[in-house]
Structures are given as C-alpha cells and as structure tokens.
Chains A and B, each alone.
Chain A
C-alpha cells in the first residue's frame, strides 16, 4: 500500500491492505489477529508491526509503502482468495469477486 501519510484511518488501512479492523482484531477472511486497543485507537505502525508488515519511507519524496503481511512465514495467510481489482487495456475495472460461482485460473505473464 502506497501512501503519502502514515496518519491513516482504519478504513483507509483496510482499503489499502485488505485487513479490516474489527472488535476481535485485524481480520482478513477467517483470520483475525488480536490487537491492543480499539478501532478508534487505530495506529498504523502498531497494527503493521502486529501483522508483520514492513513500512518503508522514501527519504526524498516522503512517500511510504506498507508491505504485505508476513504471518506464519507464508505469502498466504488464508486460502480465501483476496479481492483483486485490475483494469484491462481500455481502462475497464475488473474485480476477481465478479467471477464467484465459476472456477478461475489466473495466469500471470509479462512482456519481458
């Protein structure tokens, strides 16, 4: 998640990372990681540390990036597919969740 401020709300954090802040903690699908304090006390540095997310700030531009969670030493914390929102060549937005009810094979490739 790229951001020009670390004064984030819980809602902004959820939109950028897929981890929602709930009474039981930071949650993604069925996985919840307990947090100290409530959603009203949301502190991005504390939550990121709890989820194993690195925060790196570029010294020149002051832009920050919050890395993905590193829980359980694996890239996937849950087998529930995360939402994926990408555009096609024409700028049309596609949501992976729009294919719910069908089998999906995602193929990554690159022009290099």
Chain B
C-alpha cells in the first residue's frame, strides 16, 4: 500500500495523520506527500479517499474509485466542538427542500465494508479476481476528461504555485477558474476551500472549515462551499458505487 496526501501547504499539515498510522510514528508503507495533486492529473483522482489498484506488471487494474479500510467512522468529538457555525457562499446552490442532507449524501454510494474484501480477493486470486478490469475497461472507467478539464488542471497548477509563493489573490483567481472548468473534481475544490478556511479559523481543525463562517459570507472568495455543494447532490453521487 502507498498513501499520498493531496495537500499543497507543506508536510506539517499531513504529519500528525501520517505518524498516527503506526504506533512507532513511522508507518511501514510509503506515506507520501502530493502537494501538486499529481494523482489528479496523472490518474484522474477527483476525491478523497480514492484508491487505485496496480498489478505486478505496472498495469492499472482498477482506476481511481472511492475506497475505505472498513465502515464509516465517527468524527472526533473535539473536532465537532471546535467547528464554527458555517454559512453559505453567496453563489452556492440552495439546499433542496426535503433533500437528503449533507451527511446522507456523504454516507451513500460505494460500500465501505465490502471494499477491503475486494482488495483481499485480488491479492489472493490475482488476474482471476472478478474485480480485475481489462485495460480497455480501466480506461473507460477512468474519469471523463476533455479539453476544458485539461485547462482546469492547468489553472489548478498555477493556483497551487501562486498560493505557495504567497500570492493569494492570484491563486484564488486561478482556483475559481479551475472550479468552473472541473466542477466535479472535489480535491481541487476542497483544497482551495480548506486553505482559506484554515487561514480564517486556524487551530487543529481549521482545514476542515470549507465554507464561510456565519457573518462572513460576503468575504468568502469562492462561488460555493462544501456543505452547499454536497447537500445539493444526489444520494450516491459523491462517492459513486463502482464495485
């Protein structure tokens, strides 16, 4: 197993989670940092967690898809306690009346409990596993990508570069263009929202603030926000079922 953290603001943001993966503080698997979101551009990762299977010959046998080591976990109580009340971005979609709500959408789609069993089946049975796809199937099941999406990825790369250089206004312009061109890429969107949320709120869980604090909606520099976007989506669409 190889893990990669899609976070542009430097290794410290990922450190405590990587170190928590092993009692010694040093995981035994390659625990990597992907500050420029290479996994998005190279493989078509569009959300977290996304999992990719690659066989002994270096051939992808399942393209990026939602996957977990087990069932849904509760968020830490201290995290929920520290989260400020969040409003909605002025341009965000309204939450549908009688809609499923954010938590129902987040908990739907891919079967979390079955996912590790699928991996075990592949480990044990190799190419005979029913979960292995042919190269043609892998390509067809990878994310859509057209010229506009390539342009969105280029804007993300510029935004990433400018943010790290301290040019935040310039970065936000490119983030917004990226989001317009790749509206279904959640890592591109959440990365940007998280950077600004963390700037505004800080603390241990500031990166999970991905929308405007109540009362500061007009200062939110993005068209949308996490809660509004997810709660406007259909059940099963945020983590699509692919097994």
* Interface of B toward A, CB cutoff 8 Å: 1-7, 11, 13-15, 17-18, 30-34, 36, 38-39, 41-45, 48-61, 63-64, 67, 119, 122-123, 126, 134-136, 138-140, 142-155, 157-158, 161-162, 167, 170, 174, 187, 190-191, 193-194, 198, 207-208, 210
Chain A residues positioned under 8 Å from B61 (CB to CB): 79
Q: List 6 A-B contacts (CB under 8 A).
A: A76-B60, A81-B59, A94-B2, A103-B54, A111-B13, A111-B14
Rounded to whole Å, the gap between the CB of B156 and the closest CB of chain A is: 8
Q: Which of A53, A82, A87 contacts B43 (CB 8 A)?
A: A82
Tell me if A's interface is mostly helix, strand, loop or mixed: loop
Rounded to whole Å, the gap between the CB of B59 and the closest CB of chain A is: 5
Chain B residues positioned under 8 Å from A1 (CB to CB): 157
Q: Which of B38, B136, B154 contacts A66 (CB 8 A)?
A: B154
Rounded to whole Å, the gap between the CB of B132 and the closest CB of chain A is: 11
A2 close to chain B: CB less than 8 A: yes
In the bound complex, what is the Cα–Cα distance between A75 and B46 (angstroms)? 10
**Which A residues between 94 and 112 are near B, CB-CB below 8 angstroms?**
94, 96-97, 99-112
A63 close to chain B: CB less than 8 A: yes
Which chain B residue lies CB-closest to A77?
Answer: B139
Chain A residues positioned under 8 Å from B48 (CB to CB): 108-110
- Assess whether B152 is in contact with A108, with CB atoms less than 8 Å apart: no
Please classify how large the interface on chain A is, using the bins under 10, 10 to 19, 20 to 34, 35 or more: 35 or more
A105 in contact with B139 given A54-B154, A75-B144 (CB within 8 Å): no
Rounded to whole Å, the gap between the CB of B47 and the closest CB of chain A is: 8
Interface string of A27-59 (1 = CB under 8 A from B): 000000000000000000000000011111010
In the bound complex, what is the Cα–Cα distance between A82 and B60 (angstroms)? 9
A110 in contact with B5 given A84-B38, A102-B56, A105-B119 (CB within 8 Å): yes
Chain A residues positioned under 8 Å from B1 (CB to CB): 104-107
Chain A residues positioned under 8 Å from B50 (CB to CB): 107-108
In the bound complex, what is the Cα–Cα distance between A103 and B1 (angstroms)? 8
**Which A residues between 66 and 88 are near B, CB-CB below 8 angstroms?**
66-70, 72-82, 84, 86-88
